[in-house]
Structure formats: C-alpha cells, structure tokens
RNA sequence: GUGCCCGUAGCUCAGUUGGAUAGAGCAACGGACUUCUAAUCCGUAGGUCGGUGGUUCGAAUCCACCCGGGCAUGCCA
C-alpha cells in the first residue's frame, strides 16, 4: 500500500512534469511530515531547489506546482508559505481510509520487497569463552536488523561466525583433559575455565609445551584431539544457547557457520588472489594491497593473508566467508555487525573483493559498526573489580532490577505474572537501551535510566501497550471486533496519532536501508508518547462518550497497540498485557 | 605520523540525509489523581549545535582548516 509520503511524492512528481516538462521527472519532491501542525500535515520542499534550475523564483515555482497538481482524494488544502514551502493539509476521509488499509494489512503498511537474499552476520562469540557485555551489542543489533529485513520481505540468512579455531585451542583442550574430560563433562563456568587455561599456559612451561603440541595435533586432524575440540564446542553452544534464549534472539544452531567451516577454503582464497594478480610478498608473508590504504610513510598498506610460517589469519577467513556468501549462499546483500574498531579491517576486506572483481555488481556489502558500552566513568563498562561483565550476569541483574521496580508499585499480579513481567521488562529495557541510540556512538550504561517509566525506554513503550490492553479488558471488548474504517479524527490528539500510525512503514523502511534500529525506536517512542497524550485527552470508556466516538477510539487504540507490539517485536522485545 | 568515528541544554540522547522559531527525557520549578492504572499527562525555565572560514535563497547537517576525545594502524581475532 502507499503511505502518504509515497502517494504525495507521486502526485507532486506528476505536477512537476506537467508544469515544467518531462526532463524533471526524476526530481525528488522532498515530501516530509510537517514538524509543526500549523504547517499542515505534510510539506513539499522541492520548490526552492527547483527554482534555480527552471529560472524562476521559488514562490512562483510553488504556485505552478500547486496549479498543476491533482489533489485526488487526499488533498484538502495546499498552501504556499515562507520562501516556497508547499504545506499540505490532508483530507480526514483520506487519513481514515489509510488507517483502515493499514489495519487490514498484515504488515501494517510496510511495503514488501520483491525478494532478495540478505546475509546478516552477528553475535559471533568465541568458543570456550564466556559471552560478555561486548557481545551484547552485536547480538542485539544484529538480531533487530535480521528481524526488520525479514519483515520487509527479504530472505534473511543469519550467520553466527563462532570463533572456534586458533592456537588458543591447544591450551583449552589440555585444560579440558586435566579437568577430566568425560562423556558427560560440563563446564560450569566458561570464564574461569578460560582464565585458568590462560594462567597455566603463562605459568607452567610443561603445560605450555603440551598446549603447543596439541595445536599441531588439532591442525593435523588427530581424531582424539578433534573429539575433545568438539566437546569444547558443544559445551560452549550450551552456554550460548542459554544466553540467547534468555535474551530472546532468533539465533539457533542452524545459524552457526563457525570459523573452522572455512578451513578447507583458505588455500583457495590464496590461489584466487594470485589468479587475480593481487597477491604480493612482503617480509616473508603473503599480502594484498587494498587501494586507498597507506602506512605511516605513505606506502601501500598491506593486509596479510598468509603468515611467514604459512598460517592463515582472520583476513583470510573473512575473505573465504565473503566468497562463500556471495558464491554459495547467493546473497544480494551481506551485513556484518561488529564493533567499530573493525571498520578498517572490513574496509580492506571489501576493497579487496572489489579489486579482485569477485563481487557481482548487484551485491551490497555493509559493515554495521557500533560503539562501546561505557560505564558511569565514561570508560568501557567493567565490574567494580575491573573484570569484563558477563552477559548472563547483566541479564540477571536487569530482570532483578525490573522485579524491584514492579514490587514498588502496588499490583494485583500473581507471583508468576510478576516474574514474567520482570523478565520481559528487564530484558526489554536492556536491549532497548542498546538499540535506541545511534549505534555508531558509544553509550553510557545506566540501569536507572533504562528502567525508567519516563522517556525513551522499553518500560514506557510497554506501558503504553499495557494501558491499551487494560481498556479492552475493562470494557470487555474483543479487539477483533473493532473497525478502523469507523475511526473519527475530531481531536488534535487523535489526528496526531493517526498521522504517526501511517508512518510506521517508512520508519521500518528507513531501518532496512540505513541499518540503524534507533530510527524505529524513535518512531515507537513518538507513537507511545502520542498515545499517552491521546489517553489523557480522549476518554474511551468513560460515561458520556458517544458510542460512535467510543468505537472510533477503540479502533485507534487497537491499531496503536498492534503497531507497538509489532515494532517492539522487530526490535526483539516482548510485551505483556498487564504490568 | 596517517586513517576512521564522535563533539547538540547541567546530565543522557534525538534531529527524517540542505529547510520554517534546533527537539525529547532526566534533574529544577509550577499544575492535573473519588482515574479507561498518576508506572501518566500539561506547563515554565534551560542552547554561540566544539571553533573559524567557505559553499547558497537557507547549514547542527555539505567543504576546508583548527581544538578536544575515542578507536585503528603486518604476521591475535
């Protein structure tokens, strides 16, 4: 379906062609929702920029567009204001028919892509290492992006690039053996397991020696060693899946394509680079020189793909993974969700596949970079003792703190319900805090702020949803019985809400193209805020409300609830019916 | 040294890719509860958008140069 922005863009484009000629068909009419109601519902800002091209003053240009436009069933009134803004007042009937169309659309007015396959690479924890706060962002942001793209109609392939290979596995396997690796061994705490192995590797020469030999055995494909290695992976997956389940992300074992998956493809990468004429030698290592990268002396800056001892590096693995995703998975777009410290690395990897002409023209590569989670001291978030914060601990604390907030409020919820609300609100708050600010920036972690009922937080949004559920519960009304075509927009608060509801599609669309989930958060916050204003001003069930007004407000509320629920779902956040 | 990113109210953040008087929340102050749940709403106050130039009808947004801060900079990932 066409939202107002799309519909107006088409009408304005036609008017521009009618007024100035076919050569202006590609001009963007610059339609935006008006920031201020006194400037109408939407505005077209095209007249000012067009004025120079057609050699006329902007207000004349605006007048010609207004004369030529067919306002069809949507335009109530068009006004020219200021230097040449065209302010559009929409017909109420049009808004209502649009609301009805959105309400009957299972995608709530989100345009569906005509196919296309997108690989989203996210989370990527390391085997035998505890997931920590550093994994939160990749996992949460990546999951939201995967959900949004799937909702847009893309075929989304999630890829969890587990770190399951490398020299550290020598010490980890030896440590596992010493811990008594039996068939039913469980590692209760990955963090101490890893730290213990590391400490022994540093302190015990005998252990270090065994670890080195074990690496050779692993790389040589020794059966017993591979079995132990597999044990480590299974144990780690058990931990990861527990975290994913509590966090509520989509990742499953089927999404795992670990580093080791690419082991047998690494020699091909080197051969292919050689065939492309891009493989060079430098100080005994094999390297490529991606264009545009220079070292401190201004010389070409290498990316090492094969060490002087013959070993491969993560650049090699990433090239192999990229080739696999383009050639075997047939992806049209490949999205990497990692922290911004890897920006240069990915820029070099992407540049390399471009230079080798490995990337088909239609394939788009994106590095979705994000900043660091900071503590109150504005330094990377750590525990009091200076340790990294375990992801599990973070989630447990979120739930506990949410439970504390709930307990403060009087509530008739059962104990089980309270637990569930604490889980949904706590985890939702944690994820929303991570998603709601521009991902490229670092953000300051603050429990009180993310759990606050005011402001741009998950609890505030969930509360708006809960209030709507409360209305239907109180009125004993089945949501399925409301009819959006019966909506009336008599009050300003109702109209504001209606306009906001119609913008869900473009909000989702802008996340799909920019890969910035915070845009959806901003939208949902404005929607929830608009609902709360409406809730204050526009009684629904109270005495004295005419039946048709009541039905209208119920329909409006129902659509807000659906939009909030769907929007939060796209962010990977649940709702509850009462809190 | 070089490259990338960031700098907006006391604090935490938005700002729809160049549009109208830069917006929220917190904190401060003043209002609204026999309630469809006050877990909310309404109002007041708070700004040299790091700085200086430039581009143009118009700049927080684009370009240049500075100032601060973060990150990355060949054989870890």
Q: How far apart are CA A179 and CA A516, in angstroms?
A: 45
DSSP state of A113: P
Residue entry with tokens 């109150």: A376
On the question of pLDDT at A519 being above 80, the answer is yes
Give CA angle at A83 (A79, A86), nearest 5°.
25
- Give me the CA A80–C1' B61 separation in Å, rounded: 25
Q: Which of residues 25-54 of A touch strand B (CB under 7 A)?
A: 30, 32-36, 39-40, 43, 45, 48-49, 51-52
- DSSP E strands, A51-154: 75-81, 85-90, 117-121
- With distances taken from each CA to the C1' atom of nucleotide B71, the closest residue turns out to be A341
Q: Are A396 and A402 in contact (CB under 8 A)?
A: no
On the question of pLDDT at A544 being above 90, the answer is no
Average pLDDT of every residue of chain A: 94
Amino acid A295: pLDDT: 85
On the question of pLDDT at A559 being above 90, the answer is yes
On the question of pLDDT at A530 being above 60, the answer is yes
What ipTM did this prediction achieve?
Answer: 0.96
Q: How far apart are CA A271 and CA A160, in angstroms?
A: 26
Arithmetic mean of pLDDT, A492-510: 95
Amino acid A181: pLDDT: 66
Amino acid A130: pLDDT: 93
On the question of pLDDT at A109 being above 60, the answer is yes
pLDDT tens for A201-257 read 999 999 999 999 999 999 999 999 999 999 999 999 999 999 999 999 999 999 999
- Give me the CA A345–C1' B20 separation in Å, rounded: 43
Q: Among A253-257, A273-277, A297-301, A350-354, name the one with the lowest average pLDDT.
A: A297-301
* pLDDT interval class at A565 (50, 70, 90): very high
Please give the structure tokens belonging to residue A278: 């891009």
* pLDDT interval class at A183 (50, 70, 90): low
On the question of pLDDT at A412 being above 80, the answer is no
Cβ-based neighbours of A515, under 8 Å, separated by 6 or more: A145, A335, A366, A368
- DSSP assignments along A440-483, one per residue: TS-EE--HHHHT-SSSSSHHHHHHHHHHHHHHHHHTT--GGG--
Arithmetic mean of pLDDT, A4-19: 94
On the question of pLDDT at A409 being above 80, the answer is no
Q: Which helix (H) or strand (E) holds A27?
A: none
Q: Which nucleotides of B are covered by protein (CB under 7 A)?
A: 1-7, 12-20, 24-26, 35-37, 39-42, 56-58, 70-77
Q: How far apart are CA A332 and CA A360, in angstroms?
A: 9
Arithmetic mean of pLDDT, A353-371: 96
DSSP state of A248: T
Residue A226's CB: how many other CB atoms inside 10 A? 14
Arithmetic mean of pLDDT, A156-167: 96
Q: Among A201-205, A287-291, A331-335, name the one with the lowest average pLDDT.
A: A201-205
Q: Which of A574, A561, A544, A533 is nearest to A477 (CA)?
A: A561
Q: How far apart are CA A479 and CA A485, in angstroms?
A: 14
* pLDDT interval class at A184 (50, 70, 90): low
Q: How far apart are CA A21 and CA A231, in angstroms?
A: 70
Q: Which of residues 50-89 of A touch strand B (CB under 7 A)?
A: 51-52, 58, 81-83, 85, 87
Phi and psi, residue A126, nearest 5°: -100, 135
Kindly state the percentage of chain A with pLDDT values over 70.
99
* pLDDT interval class at A532 (50, 70, 90): very high
User: Is the Cβ atom of A412 within 7 Å of strand B at any atom?
Assistant: no
Residue A206's CB: how many other CB atoms inside 10 A? 8
Arithmetic mean of pLDDT, A158-170: 95
Burial of A385 (0-12, 13-18, 19+ CB in 10 A): exposed
Order across the sheet with A31-33: list the strands. A31-33, A42-44, A85-90, A75-81
* pLDDT interval class at A182 (50, 70, 90): low
Exposure string of A177-200, with b = 16+ CB inside 10 Å and e = fewer, is eeeebeeeeebeebbebbebbeeb
Domains identified in chain A and CATH numbers: 4-90 (3.30.1360.70), 118-161+258-366 (3.40.50.620), 168-255 (no CATH)
User: Is the Cβ atom of A379 within 7 Å of strand B at any atom?
Assistant: no
On the question of pLDDT at A508 being above 80, the answer is yes
- Give me the CA A317–C1' B63 separation in Å, rounded: 39
Q: Are A160 and A256 in contact (CB under 8 A)?
A: yes
End-to-end CA distance of chain A: 35
Q: How far apart are CA A312 and CA A466, in angstroms?
A: 54
Q: Which of A431, A422, A430, A428 is nearest to A402 (CA)?
A: A422
pLDDT tens for A22-51 read 999 989 999 999 988 889 999 999 999 999
Arithmetic mean of pLDDT, A532-547: 93
């Amino acid at each position: 379906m066409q939202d107002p922005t799309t519909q107006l863009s088409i009408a304005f484009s036609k008017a521009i062609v009618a007024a100035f000629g076919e050569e202006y068909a590609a001009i963007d009419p610059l339609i935006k929702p008006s920031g201020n109601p006194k400037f109408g519902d939407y505005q077209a800002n095209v007249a000012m920029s067009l004025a120079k091209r057609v050699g006329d003053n902007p207000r004349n240009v605006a007048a010609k567009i207004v004369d030529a436009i067919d306002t069809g069933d949507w335009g109530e009134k068009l006004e020219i204001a200021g230097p040449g803004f065209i302010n559009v007042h929409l017909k109420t009937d049009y808004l209502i028919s649009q609301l009805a169309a959105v309400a009957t659309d299972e995608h709530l007015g989100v345009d569906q892509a005509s196919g296309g396959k997108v690989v989203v690479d996210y989370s990527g924890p390391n085997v035998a290492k505890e997931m920590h706060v550093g994994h939160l962002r990749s996992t949460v942001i990546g999951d939201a992006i995967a959900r949004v793209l799937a909702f847009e109609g893309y075929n989304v392939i999630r890829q969890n690039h587990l770190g399951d290979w490398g020299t550290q596995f020598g010490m980890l396997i030896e440590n596992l053996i010493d811990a008594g690796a039996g068939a039913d061994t469980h590692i209760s705490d990955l963090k101490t397991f890893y730290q213990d192995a590391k400490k022994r590797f540093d302190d015990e020469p005998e252990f270090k020696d065994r670890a080195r030999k074990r690496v050779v055995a692993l790389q040589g494909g020794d059966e017993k060693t591979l079995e132990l290695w597999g044990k480590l992976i299974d144990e780690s997956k058990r931990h990861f899946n527990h975290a994913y389940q509590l966090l509520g992300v989509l990742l499953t074992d089927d999404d795992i394509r670990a580093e080791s998956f690419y082991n047998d493809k690494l020699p091909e990468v080197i051969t292919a680079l050689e065939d492309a004429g891009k493989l060079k030698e430098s100080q005994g290592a094999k390297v490529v020189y991606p264009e545009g990268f220079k070292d401190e002396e201004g010389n070409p800056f290498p990316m090492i793909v094969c060490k002087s001892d013959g070993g491969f590096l993560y650049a090699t693995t990433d090239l192999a993974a990229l080739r696999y995703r383009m050639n075997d998975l047939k992806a049209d777009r490949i999205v990497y969700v990692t922290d911004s410290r890897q920006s240069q690395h990915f820029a070099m990897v992407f540049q390399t596949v471009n230079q080798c002409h490995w990337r088909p023209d239609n394939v788009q590569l994106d590095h979705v970079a994000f900043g660091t989670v900071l503590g109150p001291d504005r330094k990377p978030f750590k525990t009091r003792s200076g340790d990294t914060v375990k992801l599990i601990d973070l989630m447990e604390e979120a739930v506990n703190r949410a439970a504390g907030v709930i307990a403060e409020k009087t509530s008739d919820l059962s104990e089980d319900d309270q637990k569930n609300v604490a889980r949904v609100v706590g985890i939702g708050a944690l994820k929303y805090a991570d998603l709601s600010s521009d991902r490229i920036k670092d953000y300051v972690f603050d429990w009180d702020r993310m759990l606050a009922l005011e402001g741009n937080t998950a609890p505030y949004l969930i509360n708006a949803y809960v209030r709507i559920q409360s209305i239907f519960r109180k009125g004993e009304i089945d949501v399925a019985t409301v009819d959006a075509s019966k909506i009336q927009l008599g009050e300003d608060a109702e109209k504001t809400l209606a306009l906001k509801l119609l913008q869900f599609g473009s909000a989702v669309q802008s996340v799909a193209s920019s890969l910035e989930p915070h845009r959806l958060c901003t939208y949902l916050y404005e929607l929830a805020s608009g609902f709360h204003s409406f809730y204050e001003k526009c009684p629904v069930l109270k005495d004295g409300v005419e039946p048709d007004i009541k039905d209208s407000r119920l329909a409006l509320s129902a659509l807000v609830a659906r939009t909030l629920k769907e929007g939060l779902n796209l962010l990977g956040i649940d709702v509850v019916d009462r809190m």
